[in-house]
Amino acid sequence: MFKIVLNRLQQGFRTIPFPKGKLPVLPAIYRGRPIVAEPNNNLDLGKITFVPDSGIQYSNDFRMAVSKREELVLKNNEQILAQALNKEMLRIFGRSIKLRQVSAGGCNACEADINVLNTVVFDLSRFGIQFVASPRHADGIVVTGPITNNMREALLKTYEAIPEPKIVIAVGSCAISGGIFAESPEASKGLDTILPVNLYVPGCPPHPLTILDGLVRLLGKY
């Protein structure tokens, strides 16, 4: 037991001091918010997949989550980040919110980065945010994947089971626009063509910090 306690003391404090203090510095290989090379050249973060050698230059900035779909379109390298919910919604959800995650045909990349938020490094629960097993215990839904036809009914039933008021969060390019499956007749054109969306988190997949930053902004915890 003594060795366990000693080892824990040697490890020190592992949770990142987010959002207070300096922004976390991600590795140089990380592809964050793109940099628009030409003035007035619009780039839709909800559609790109952040792949290398695509002719797009990327910054190291992980902050990309927005409240409205049109705000994902970069104009002159400017972006309006996610805004807090209205006062009534913050009164209800500001201190604690439970979320149900639905993988609507995803590849498990976005799902994995959402799962990472529960680890000691990010410690999602310190913000009062938790994922639950039943939509009847949830205040909102987090959707990943291109929302295939096979998952559409399950998604709608999950949404309907969540009591009002509720929030909807689209995580990843697939959920936002259909991603690389946008032209497939077996996938949707984006979650907001099916349900009202409160938060869009772009990426393929989005970094855990991108997701966390969006959630913290949505709940007015900055």
User: Does the structure show a pLDDT above 90 at 36?
Assistant: no
Give dist(CA 195, CA 175) in Å, integer: 11
Give the Cα separation of 102 and 104 in Å (integer): 6
Q: What token pair was written down for 91?
A: 């009164």
Instruction: Return the minimum-mean-pLDDT range out of 23-37, 168-182, 196-210.
Output: 23-37
- Considering only residues 17 and 213, tell me which one the structure prediction assigns the higher pLDDT: 213
Average pLDDT estimate for 58-72: 95
Q: 217 with 65: CB under 8 angstroms?
A: yes
Question: Does residue 34 contact residue 59 with C-beta atoms inside 8 Å?
Answer: yes
Whether the Cβ atoms of residue 137 and residue 98 lie closer than 8 Å to each other = yes
Is it true that the peptide bond before 205 is cis, omega within 30 degrees of 0?
A: yes
pTM over cut 0.85: yes
Q: What is the pLDDT of residue 57?
A: 87
Both tokens assigned to 44: 């839709």
So what's the pLDDT on residue 158? 98
Strand order in the sheet with 140-144: 129-131, 97-103, 140-144, 167-171, 199-201
154-170 b/e (C-beta count within 10 Å ≥ 16 → b): ebeebbeebeeebbbbb
pLDDT for 98-152, tens place per residue?
A: 999 999 999 999 999 999 999 999 999 999 999 999 999 999 999 999 999 999 9
Q: Give the Å distances, CA to CA, from 103 to 112, 115, 141.
A: 11, 12, 11
Taking a C-beta distance cutoff of 8 angstroms, is the pair 169, 198 a contact? yes
pLDDT, one tens digit per residue, over 111-121 is 999 999 999 99
Mean per-residue pLDDT, 194-210 = 97
Q: What percent of the chain has pLDDT above 90?
A: 75
Q: What is the mean pLDDT of the chain?
A: 92
Q: What is the pLDDT of residue 91?
A: 95
In 3D space, the residue among 68, 77, 70 whose CA is nearest the CA of residue 33 turns out to be: 77
Cα distance between residue 118 and residue 112, in whole Å: 11
**Domain 1-222, CATH among 3.30.70.360, 3.40.50.1460, 3.40.50.12280, 2.40.100.10:** 3.40.50.12280
pLDDT 10s digits, 160-190: 999 999 999 999 999 999 999 999 999 999 9
Instruction: Return the higher-pLDDT residue of 77 and 129.
Output: 129
